[in-house]
A and B are shown apart, each in its own frame.
Chain A
Amino acid sequence: MTTHSSPMVRGNIAGLADLRGSIVERFGTQVSQFRADGNFILTLSLTELNALPALSRFFFWEHSCLFGGIIAEEHPRNWQIHYTFLLLGAGWINVELSMPLEATILPSIVAEVHAADWHEREVEDLFGIHFENHPRLGDFVLHDQIWREGIDPMRKSFAARRPQLERKVDLEWQPLLIVGDPGSFAMPIGPVYEGGIGESLHFLLETVGEDVIRAAPRLFYNYRAVEKIAEGRSILDALLLAERFAATSAFAHSFAFCLAAERIAGVDVPPRAVALRVLLAELERLRHHAGAIAAICESTALAVSAAQASIIEEQLLRASCAFADHRYLFGLNTPGGLNRDFTSEQCETLLLAVDKAEKDLRVLEKRLRFSSSFLDRLEDVGVVTRENARDLNLVGPIGRASAQSCDLRKACPYSGYGRHGFEVPYETEGDGYARLRVLFAEAVQSTRLIHQAIDKLEEGPVRVSCEVSRPGFALGWAEAPRGAALHWLRVDEKGMVERYRAITPSFNNWLGFHVAAEDFAFQDFPIILATFGLSGTECDR
């Protein structure tokens, strides 16, 4: 097990002033207006659109930034597009550009930053902005067999609450296949899962027989347009959506959303709530990881271990429910703190359950390490190399199993994580077994954090009033169980949501799934899927 305790800063990052200096030197007048606004340490306005790919390359490759995502906003007279990057250990950088509404063409940055692929496809599909030189646009969020081209639901003129009547199913529609060998065919899986209970995901396994050459996920069956229907609602109503679009990481997403709202209001959360939020977020991570481990055991058909892991998970669900009155921790976060307080007896009871879960997980891990048939099925399966993981900007446990040790709790601490002592475990092999080990190691760290949070609990209120009555925007971030989650929020002068954007770890990581699912034996597919442990609904929103 390799661990380190300081944020790993890849490349040589000098101070922010030096960074500005080198941007000016390289890009001259193509960028203007250096400022720090919202919660970005640096915001640049781009004056020359064509500089975008080079600038992205500059941040992503030369300064080893994490690519946050693209946020498109439609204002009454212009487009405003934000490209966000995280300078590890320092903070978020926002490259923004603005163009008139009639202009709908942007240079694509995919050739420089592969991780931007799906972000650009989504913007194209939902806003109708075209990206020049993008290799593949169309059919993404809105499936082409049901939606005709030219519908851009995220445009302000599109009425979200009206059912779409002109929709009809195109029976002629064919997916794009890549493997062209004689005798090759595509085997569809999903969206109604053949294996019993699964999320609505759809895969096309392109195969020439036994071996699958390529597996392409087709997602967004669960797209409920959360970002669209949040518009025009109050912050509290939008919070309900942020919390409920992906329930297995509900707390992390409501956490990031509330952080954004609090930053707009300029409110500081009381210390007790800060510590309790860490506790609850880690409880969620622990439970999520127990569930992910159970899924991996199940995919290898090692029944007893799967049963034991799922018992641990259910016990944690019950402990969460006994502690916070909800098995998935709904209804706790609110802008300004938490909706309720906890007594020290409640915390003690929770600690007992958490310690028991940790002990059981350790026993399970030890036994699994000695189960050779289990290891055989995980080792060297679904390998993501370190280079691919960096290239595709993989986050969370999947990234960390391929030596991408970025963790927002360390790389850009929020809500008091900087004060806690914990490690970010990572592995280098990038195979299924490495991902399993990362899950186990992270569960141990989460228990550590829960202990620390309870130890550091101060007396005091858990909530301050958080009225948002001025226009503004902010980015909230949190390390969700599956990786970095970003919530962008812009509100108008009445405090209503003008634009809400959730960039989720599943969205980021599904992009890398095809790397792991290449040239594999058919029976390994469920294992690769389980070790990735991604959520469709978290990606789809």
Chain B
Amino acid sequence: MSFWFWHGLRKGIQTTRYPRRMEVALGVSPGRPINTRFATPEEAQLAAEICPTDAIVAHGKSTFVNHGKCVHCQLCLRSLRSPMDWETGYEWTHLPANQRESFPLPTAFSKSMHIMVVDAGDCGACLHEVKQLNNPLYNMHRLGFFMTATPRSADLLLVVGPVSESMRGPLLKTWEAMPTSRKVIAVGSCAISGGVFGKSFMCAGGVGSVLPVDFEVPGNPPPPLAILHGLLVVAGRKSVKIPEPISEGRP
């Protein structure tokens, strides 16, 4: 059985250099649509109309994307004569809408953070991407991030899914059992806005309507590096990008 040892050694280090360097391997991120300026207002209007979740708002010739609502159906990329611009990065963590600032955990936690993950009705994709962080290619342990099994020792509550009615209770109980210095991060469009499921008798339509949320990682699902960026933001080792505001009255 010692061959496993040699097998492992022979494979060498395959872990990403992120956050020290940006990861550029193909396929680490599906990218996402970004605010676009079209040649005519009609084109902008068409882009807004094609989006099934109203994530695109048109104003004049410009369109603004509400990433918390985007479900990555790619219609605005493939089914428009003049498609939306598309970015390829993954540092997407932002503040919840209507929230001006959120504070990261105190610096004492920045090199060792324990994370409690709760699946509150997600489709499996976001949860799966969170799991990938334990994959040797991402290996979040090297950054001092650990998944924990008990809320008592957790610093961060990571929630995926739109909060199904049956998970509302368990989610709240988990949150209440955590020390009050806790932070909450909502991962995925469903956790931010309800995504395709929206608000219904069985769905709270986002973590924000159940708990106070500190940071949000948009994406459907956000790729592992986007989630890692979110964790680094909570640990105070990366800063959030202040997004361009999506307001109707923008010039």
Binding site for B on A (CB under 8 A): 143, 146, 153, 158-164, 167, 169, 191-200, 220-226, 228-229, 236-237, 240-241, 244-248, 250, 291, 302, 304-305, 307-308, 310-311, 313-314, 317-323, 325-328, 330-331, 339-340, 367, 370-373, 535, 537-538
Contacts and interface: CB of A to CB of B under 8 A. Distances in A.
Nearest to B122: A537
A325 B220 CA distance: 12
A231 to B, nearest CB: 11
B11 to A, nearest CB: 7
Nearest to A328: B125
Interface string B31-57: 100000000000000000000100000
Given A153-B201, A237-B52, A240-B73, A321 B4 contact: no
A221 B121 contact: yes
Contacts of B221: 247, 327-328
Contacts of A537: 119, 121-124
Contacts of A193: 119, 149
Contacts, number: 209
16 contacts: A146-B169, A160-B200, A194-B149, A194-B150, A200-B121, A225-B201, A225-B203, A228-B200, A247-B125, A250-B125, A314-B135, A318-B25, A326-B72, A330-B73, A367-B4, A371-B1
Given A229-B200, A340-B78, A319 B27 contact: yes
B230 interface: no
Contacts of A535: 124
Given A164-B165, A192-B118, A325-B30, A244 B8 contact: no
Given A229-B200, A322-B27, A308 B119 contact: no
Interface string B102-117: 0000000000000001
Interface residues of B, number: 72
A330 B11 CA distance: 32
B14 interface: yes
Interface string B201-236: 111000000000000000011010000000000000
Given A241-B196, A311-B137, A327-B30, A304 B117 contact: no
Interface of B: 1, 3-5, 7-8, 11, 14, 25-31, 52, 71-75, 77-79, 117-125, 127-132, 134-138, 147-151, 161-162, 164-167, 169-171, 173-174, 195-203, 220-221, 223
Contact of A192 (B26, B77, B170): B170
A354 B246 CA distance: 41
B41 to A, nearest CB: 25
A327 B201 CA distance: 30
A463 to B, nearest CB: 10
A222 B121 contact: yes
A367 B201 contact: no
Contact of B161 (A158, A222, A226, A314): A222
Contact of A302 (B4, B131, B137): B4
Contacts of A291: 128
A244 B196 contact: yes
B165 A146 contact: yes
B244 to A, nearest CB: 24
Residue of B52, B125, B149, B201 with most partner-chain A CB within 10 A: B201
Given A304-B8, A331-B75, A535-B124, 4 more contacts: A224-B200, A308-B7, A327-B129, A372-B1
Contacts of A323: 27
- Sorted from nearest, which 5 A-B pairs have the closest CB atoms? A318-B27, A247-B125, A321-B27, A322-B27, A331-B74
A238 B206 CA distance: 20
